[in-house]
Each structure stands twice: as C-alpha cells, then as structure tokens.
C-alpha cells in the first residue's frame, strides 16, 4: 500500500519540487497528501497548486502565541493523515507536542553536514570555519535543534572563491538528491532507528 506523505515548507519550495518530480517519475512509491505552509507568500504554494496537491495554510502571523500556532499546525497534520511528515525548508523550530506525535515519522533536510553548523545560516557558518567539505543532511526530527538520527548525507567541496550563495547553490543540488532518496527508503520500509543510528536495510 502506498505511503502518504505531507510536506511542510516556508519558502520557494525547490526541495518540494524535487519530491514532486520523484513522485511523478515513480521513484518514490507514495502520494503527497498535502502541502502545509506557515507563509501565505511561499512559492511552494504555486508548485502544489500546479500539481493539484492540496494546500493548507497555517499562517503563523495570525496567531497570538506560538502555542496556539502549534496546536493549529498539529491539527492540520493530523487531518492530513501522513505516514511521513517531510520538513522541506520549514523555517521554524517545532515544539515538543508536534515532535512527539510524529516521532520516527518526520524528517528534515539541513544544508550542513550535521552535527556541525546547526540552525540558521549553515553555509555562512561553514565558510567562517573554513571547512574544506560541506554538504547536506537528512535526519529524523527529535526535540533537539537539527540533532535527530541521521539518515543520509551528501558532500560538496568548498572552493576558495566560494561565498555563501555559491556554496548554498551547490549544496542545494545535493539536497534535491538526498531528500527524495531518504523519502524513498522510508516509503519502502527500509529505515530502522537504533539509538543514534539509522540502519538502512
């Protein structure tokens, strides 16, 4: 039986588009049940509409507290009935209630080789530390900041002439490979969490 995925995004949605492309190719045997976004101006909305994917707006700016927003987000997720929640450029830290509800069923893409350079501006952090290799990580979400069990990582060389934008562009290419691959493995029931380690069958 096909898995049902729900994507949560805040911005332009290029990783969301990579997921859509993989679904259309049949690389991922699943259906995208919804796009949930906290940003009414997110270009990801246009991507979803063009593919007939339902869009659910939970606009952070309309809530008087983070707690109320989180309750609404959790309600939207539950209504969408996902087997897997995919954070694809979602720019907020999730509270413990949402994380607990989808423990082992929520993944995130981060533009750094975790556990290095968590949080915002990961590419800038990499350049400031003059690392020779950067990349991206797909990981399960837990109650830490970008600290959940790692599923996949992909690397890029850092060039002497790189700035934040050029490095981000090259990392993004790898994100578009790694995230659909991690989703595919989940949907094929090939991922097992064993403490800090994710075993791929």
Rounded to the nearest 10°, the torsion over CA 144, 73, 12, 145 is 0
- Per annotation, catalytic residue among 110, 121, 139, 176: 110
Give the CA diameter of the chain.
Answer: 48
Query: Is 110 in the active site?
Result: yes
Length, in residues, of the chain = 201
**How far apart are alpha carbons 147 and 77 in whole angstroms?**
22
**How far apart are alpha carbons 45 and 147 in whole angstroms?**
28
The DSSP secondary structure of 28-88, one letter per residue, reads S-EEEEEEEES-TT-THHHHHHHTT--EEE--GGG-SSHHHHHHHHHHHHHHH--SEEEES
Name the pairing type of β-strands 84-87 and 197-200. Answer: unpaired
Q: Looking at the annotation, which residues are catalytic?
A: 110
């Amino acid at each position: 039986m096909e898995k049902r995925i729900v994507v949560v995004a805040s911005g332009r949605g290029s990783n969301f588009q990579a997921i859509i492309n993989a679904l259309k190719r049949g690389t991922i045997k699943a259906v995208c049940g919804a796009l949930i976004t906290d940003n009414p101006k997110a270009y990801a909305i246009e991507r979803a509409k063009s593919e007939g994917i339902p869009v659910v707006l939970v606009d952070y700016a309309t809530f008087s507290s983070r707690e109320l927003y989180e309750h609404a987000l959790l309600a939207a997720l539950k209504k969408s009935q996902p087997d897997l929640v995919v954070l694809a450029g979602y720019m907020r830290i999730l509270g413990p209630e949402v994380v607990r509800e989808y423990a082992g069923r929520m993944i995130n893409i981060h533009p750094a080789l975790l556990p290095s350079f968590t949080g915002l501006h990961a590419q800038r952090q990499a350049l400031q530390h003059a690392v020779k290799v950067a990349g991206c990580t797909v990981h399960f979400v837990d109650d830490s900041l970008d600290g959940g069990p790692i599923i996949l990582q992909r690397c890029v060389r850092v060039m002497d002439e790189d700035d934040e934008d050029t490095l981000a562009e090259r990392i993004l290419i790898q994100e578009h490979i790694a995230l659909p691959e991690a989703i595919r493995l989940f949907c094929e029931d090939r991922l097992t969490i064993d403490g800090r380690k994710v075993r791929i069958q």
